Amino acid sequence: MLIDSHCHINFPDLAARLPEVLDNMRESRVSHALVIGVSRPKYPQVLGLAEAHPNLYATVGVHPDDPEAEEYSEDELVELAGHPRVVGIGETGLDYHWCKGDLEWQHQRFRTHIRAARRVSLPLVIHTRESAEDTIRIMREEHADECRGVMHCFTETWEVAEAALALGFYISFSGVVTFKNAKQVQEVAQKVPLERMLIETDSPYLAPVPHRGKQNEPAYVRHVAECVARLRGISVEEVAAATTENFFRLFAKAAR
């Protein structure tokens, strides 16, 4: 069985065809999926999916790419994380691709999420884009190693992966690893210890080959697993078993 450790199936295009999306998961032997919180307005949709479907789980957080987003306080994150279907904090982190100028607001948002995760002992789901140095620095300053988490949709260098691994974090690969020009990501996928790896879709974005350019969905996480298996010279069953075990080890609040 496989697990999609990061998806957005509450987004309109996937939500509109949810029964089909869930059927496709079953047919592809994708047993569970983690639906990621990115904003206050969309959070009820995320939680609703996790409450309605025993194989879906939720996280709570505010994505780093919107300076106008309504914030959660640290106490609010702690309170919301008490829900039995909420198994992590995030998506949080830093994004210097979409955001420019004085980004102290983004740093503070990230720090708030880390502090909340430490208080409730839940893992962080971290987004980093063109911001790896500051991301790792803030993780160290805020003692993110005390709650651990995952570097989602990893596209950085092996050196960044090593720094995250040293803090107890897992590395998650998305459909990007299947792209022909993603040599850096493929190198990291060969080096990351199998016991510290997750796989994901980030759907509806970043559909893997052979679906690149189309709408992504959790069933397609199988293609990520197959690519990682080829890169490492092991069976897809081995990748599936390891990443499933890793998911439940990291997101320990999730029931198998």
pLDDT band at 101 (very low <50, low <70, confident <90, very high): confident
Report pLDDT for 255. 87
Helix, strand, coil tally for the chain in percent (to 5)? 45, 20, 35
Tokens (6 digits) for 22: 């869930």
Give the alpha-carbon dihedral of 38, 239, 122, 201, to 10 degrees.
0
**Run of H or E residues at 116:** helix 104-120
Portion of the chain with pLDDT greater than 90, in percent: 96
pLDDT in tens, 142-186: 999 999 999 999 999 999 999 999 999 999 999 999 999 999 999
Can you tell me the distance from the alpha carbon of 228 to that of 222, in angstroms, rounded to the nearest whole number?
10
As a whole number, mean pLDDT of residues 223-227 equals 98
3-state secondary structure 189-216: HHHCCHHHEEECCCECCCCCCCCCCCCC
- pTM > 0.95: yes or no: yes
Helix axes 132-141, 104-120, angle to 10 degrees: 40
Can you tell me the distance from the alpha carbon of 74 to that of 60, in angstroms, rounded to the nearest whole number?
12
Q: Which of 244, 206, 251 is nearest to 35 (CA)?
A: 251
Q: How many residues does the chain have?
A: 256
Report pLDDT for 53. 98
For the residues of 82-114, what is the DSSP string, one character each? Answer: TSTTEEEEEEEEEETTT--S--HHHHHHHHHHH
pLDDT in tens, 122-135: 999 999 999 999 99
Measure the N-to-C terminal CA separation of the chain; round to a whole number of Å: 12
